[in-house]
Amino acid sequence: MSKKFGTSLEFAKRYVSEKTLQQLLNYLSKDPVNNLDRIFTLGKILARREEHKQAILTVERNLNNYPAIRQLVESLLRDTHPNVRQRLLFNFFINSIIFGIPKQLQLSETLGFKVPHTILVDPTSNCNLRCEGCWAGAYAKHDELEYERLDRLFNEAKELGIYWIVMSGGEPFMYPYLFDLAAKHNDMAFMIYTNGTRIDEKTADKIIEVGNISPAFSLEGWEERTDRRRGTGVFKKVINAMEMLRERGAVFGISLTATRENVEEIMSDEFIDYMIDKGAKYGWIFHYIPIGRNPNTDLMLTPEQRAYLAKVVPNIRRNKPIFLADFWNDGEFTQGCIAGGKYYFHITASGAVEPCAFVHISTHNINECSLKDVLNSPLFKAYQKRQPFNNNHLRPCPIIDVPSALREIVTETGAKPTHPGADDILKGEVSEYLDRLSEAWAEVAAEIKER
């Protein structure tokens, strides 16, 4: 093929993509529910990889087979403010997935290191609450990443095809430049883990104005349990924030930490239906990990409770209009652990780069190196060469499923804890408990896989 022909072909592809994108935006802005079939057709045209086309086909089939999934998709299109449809949803599904992932895969081959799908970053460690057992509760309380460094990080990310940024903390809505960054990087999608207490009418208006921010509210269950851990009145403030955002047409979700005490409560029909009624479109389920403020192994799920989650979460996904993901039991979809730069990694408010939000060890600091340096680090390579940590993807995690692997990684790379007590999961009583729990879960997970 001649160089001239190749250039013309690329121009033609770009021309078709631009025209298709413009038509997609037209459908999103004008009667998107009745244009749903056309939106899926355009999505398949834009999809650059066969697995993306197959994923779109799978969603189409699910829309026809499961009324709750159709209800969720239609509500996202019908009830979402135009700013949010054309920024958050477009940036996530088109920039991040359709265009971003192929670029990430291509650069992973040419650069010689894995480019992840997203980055979890804490802009600040400041928080107005002191929740018992908080996974981030042992970090220093005065750290904050400079606006300029985050601005540069997001530009570095987009150069690698990363258009999805997740934020935690601390409380991200206490970071003074949050909306400035979201507005400047209006081609990216931002999901914000939040305690919800900082979202008032003014903040809710800003979320709609920038359009590319989706809060994920942290809850422990109903009011009594949430307030017991987070403080009196927190549950009502979260519900009030949800109602303000629902009325304005924001897209938001929930973040649930499953413990030995609350797992049946947060998975009950009554609780999930209440969250749907308040407007939540998605939910992330985290298994309690003994890290952070006052870690307590007695709160960890039993193997029987984890098996319960593995059964109930897929059932909710099929039959209720909310998308739930269980980061530990959904390993089949991600082919094991997602951390260590494989699909994501974590940057603390001090700049320390960690493989995972729950693995508080580090060899690099983002204030002292580039994003490419981080992704090419020995720590991430040590992680990735062991992934998957187990061939049974119900055992994806090097913390609670294959703890010997995490100890090997630390020994191999010399990674250091990012706060006092962060290495307790690697030694002593906590480490011994994790070994016993992982062995017990291995037996149950094997039985589940054989069914």
Look at residue 14 in the predicted model and tell me its pLDDT.
53
- Whether 184 is in a domain gets the answer yes
For position 236, which CATH number holds? 3.20.20.70
User: 182 and 47 in one domain?
Assistant: no
**Residue 199 and residue 279 share a domain:** yes
Domain co-membership, 144 together with 258: yes
Cα(222)–Cα(236) distance, integer angstroms = 10
Same domain, 98 and 18: no
Give yes or no: residues 54 and 86 share one domain. no
Decide if 270 is inside a domain. yes
Do 28 and 88 lie in one domain? The reply is no
* Shared-domain flag, residues 110 and 10: no
Q: Are 120 and 218 part of one and the same domain?
A: yes
Local structure of 130: helix, strand or coil: coil
Query: How far is CA 342 from each of CA 108, 163, 347, 403, rounded to the nearest angstrom?
Result: 10, 16, 15, 18
Answer whether 216's CB lies under 8 Å from 194's CB: yes
Using alpha carbons only, how large is the chain's radius of gyration in Å? 22
Domain limits for position 21: 4-65
> What is the model's pLDDT at position 450?
84
Please tell me whether residues 34 and 145 are part of one structural domain. no
133, part of any domain: yes
Asked, for residue 74, whether it belongs to a domain, the answer is: no
CB 265 within 8 A of CB 312: no
pLDDT of res. 37: 79
Residue 167 within a domain: yes
Length of the chain measured in residues? 451
**Distance from C-alpha of 438 to C-alpha of 245, rounded to nearest angstrom:** 40
The reply to whether 97 falls in a domain is yes
Q: Is residue 366 assigned to a domain?
A: yes
- Position 11 scores a pLDDT of 41
Do 44 and 192 fall into the same domain?
A: no
- Could you read off the pLDDT of 389-419 as tens digits, one per residue? 999 999 999 999 999 999 999 999 999 999 9
pLDDT at 17: 65
Q: Are residues 102 and 9 in the same domain?
A: no
Instruction: For the chain, list residues with pLDDT below 50.
Output: 1-13, 15
**What's the confidence (pLDDT) of residue 35?**
78
Contact predicate 188/91, CB 8 Å: yes
Measured CA to CA, the distance from residue 440 to residue 434 in angstroms comes to: 10
Residue 70 in domain: no
21 and 116 in a common domain: no
Q: Domain tally for the chain?
A: 2
Check residue 138 and give its pLDDT: 85
Q: How far, in Å, CA of 136 to CA of 151, rounded?
A: 23
